[in-house]
Amino acid sequence: MSFDPIRKDLQALRVTPHLVDHEQARAAHSWEAVRAELQGLPGGGLNLAHEAVDRHASGARADHLALRWLGKDGTVRDLSYADMAQGSTRFANVLRALGVAKGERVFALMGRVPELYFAALGTLKNVSVFCPLFSQFGPEPVWQRLNRGDAKVLVTTQVLYEKKVAALRERLPALQFILLADAEDDLDATVRSLPRLMAAASDTFTIPPTSPEDMALLHFTSGTTGMPKGAVHVHQAALTHFATGRYVLDLHPEDVFWCTADPGWVTGTSYGIFAPFLHGVTNLVDEADFDAERWYRILEQQKVTVWYTAPTAIRRLMRVPGEPRAQHDLSALRLIHSVGEPLNPEAVVWGQRALGLPIHDNWWQTETGGIMIANYAAMDIRPGSMGKPLPGIDAVIVKRGEHGIEEITQPDVEGELALKPGWPSMFRAYLHDEARYAKCFVNGWYLSGDLAKRDADGYFWFVGRADDIIKTSGHMVGPFEVESALMEHPAVAEAGVIGKPDPLIGELVKAFVVLKPGNAANDELRLDLIGFARKRLGPAVAPKEIAFVESLPKTRSGKIMRRLLKSRELGLPEGDLSTLEND
């Protein structure tokens, strides 16, 4: 089933978007012009933290609400841009007093608390490198990242230190200091009380000369096998965060912005910290985990205007009975975005029906550092499409051959999504893995590893990861297409699809289905789903086997782990589980 485009009426939008005409914006764009909108350091350098908070703290927005923190227990803590500048400056002075130098790595293992944001910004002010970790990682993935990232400092809490780090110390000889965000006193000379250090630190700090190409962030991303990869990003990334905050998130001065992603993931830093602060808006941070009623209450009470969340969360909301707008006043909300994995067409349409707004999908990766392809506030949405490239981004579909790659110019032909290198937030290396980094670039293009197609009007459509594609009876089947079709069935909440080896057809398509409450998992429903999918997809593409499951394995950032479904189905080793949601 194809969904009708969702048309945008510019006159009906409450705020005139920054990007009104996509082609015109692309033609007029230059990264030099974006750089000119940022202040820069007195010596001519560029520091991401200076642009995010100090620039506002020394200007007209010093007293503007920068961060509103909502604690699990109902506590609310408000911090202005002046407060954020002071807190991050104190943290920078803590690092300087500890002898932490330019380029040395400062890791954070903690929940969404204000100290995390001070640590991120203060680390960058010191021209050290900020490396976020997800607080629910187990000890082994924590060790892998600290070790591979050459951690010198770790900021964490007493509970997380005792549970996940203390036993690792002998295996981490380079880790010199542990800063405990909730300890009143030092434990010893290396395990220190961050509140005590912050209280003693000066609230004045001169940011050292910072080159736009100085290393700023280290984000770890897991492959299907092997150790996690450390993607290196630089201060120049500020330009992409600023441009995407304008063009995609469409941030305006009085917006209240809420990114639900944890800063342990790249979305939670690029768009949970930097993009909103670069635009001087109010950034909402919720300490608690997902809870549908709490989320709707936050949207209503905090008058959120721009909301950035994940497909997994949206699908969970879709499973909640009732009409959200009948129970909550969501009238302040004007724009919803989603990222983490492709957004099924049904979810886009559900947003229009249930929330009064379509959900705008976009595409990017840890390696790209920021949004590359998006649906925009003023642009018609084609449900299931990731949209069109950001101004300043050249994206093409290519196929690999004996002599490199060749661009596919015909519309609706599947190939690998590739980007022309040179955008400001492009990763500059995989730390300690030059060979793997080099393989990402062929014939002057960055190869994303994602399969996609582009239609005649320039909209890009996700097909699947290259290593997820199912080869069945001579057909190449993208699991996302099958999952989306199954989700159109009224009984289906979620679906994950794999290829299962078959001696006759190569691989058969098998689907793992999570049902909505009130539906019985039985053979009658299984046959109904197979028939439903065959009508929409055709017999070659539709699943031949369906298994009902209580939940799907996902990464903590919300992506379905299809390779884990396949490993469990075939009894193969499960590989790296460090990013599994409920390991």
Q: What is the DSSP letter of 580?
A: B
The reported pLDDT for the residue numbered 46 is: 98
Please state the rounded mean pLDDT for residues 258-281. 95
Distance CA 160, CA 273 (A): 22
User: Rounded to two decimals, what is the model's pTM?
Assistant: 0.85
Backbone region of residue 129 per phi and psi (left: phi > 0; alpha: psi in -120 to 50; beta: other values)? beta
309-318, 384-393, 437-446: the lowest-pLDDT one: 309-318
335-344, 378-387, 404-413: the lowest-pLDDT one: 335-344
The tokens of 237 are what?
């990334």
The reported pLDDT for the residue numbered 103 is: 98
The reported pLDDT for the residue numbered 224 is: 43
Residue-wise DSSP of 367-387: TT-S--EE--TTSPB-TTEEE
Distance CA 395, CA 372 (A): 8
Distance CA 184, CA 571 (A): 49
The reported pLDDT for the residue numbered 57 is: 98
- Phi, psi values for residue 453, rounded to 5°: -145, 160
Please state the rounded mean pLDDT for residues 348-360. 95
User: What residues contact residue 310 under an 8 Å CB cut-off, 6+ apart?
Assistant: 260, 261, 267, 338, 339, 340, 341, 557, 558
The reported pLDDT for the residue numbered 573 is: 67
Q: CATH topology of 10-24+32-454 equal to that of 469-570?
A: no
The reported pLDDT for the residue numbered 382 is: 96
Please state the rounded mean pLDDT for residues 173-201. 97
- Phi, psi values for residue 289, rounded to 5°: -80, 175
The reported pLDDT for the residue numbered 575 is: 57
C-alpha 223: how far from chain center: 16
- Of the candidate CATH numbers 3.10.20.740, 3.40.50.12780, 2.60.40.420, 3.40.50.2300, the domain formed by 10-24+32-454 belongs to 3.40.50.12780
Nearest residue to 568 (alpha-carbon basis) of 580, 582, 553: 553
Domain boundaries, the chain: 10-24+32-454, 469-570
pLDDT grade, residue 504 (50/70/90)?
confident
User: What residues contact residue 561 under an 8 Å CB cut-off, 6+ apart?
Assistant: 552, 553, 554, 555, 580
CATH class of the domain at 469-570: alpha beta
The reported pLDDT for the residue numbered 576 is: 56
Distance CA 218, CA 132 (A): 8
Query: How do 460-465 and 470-472 pair as beta strands?
Result: unpaired
Mean pLDDT of all residues belonging to the chain? 92
Contact status, residue 427 vs residue 237, Cβ threshold 8 Å: no
The tokens of 424 are what?
């400001």
Q: What is the DSSP letter of 270?
A: I
Q: Tell the residue number behind the tokens 């079709």, with chain if given.
A: 485
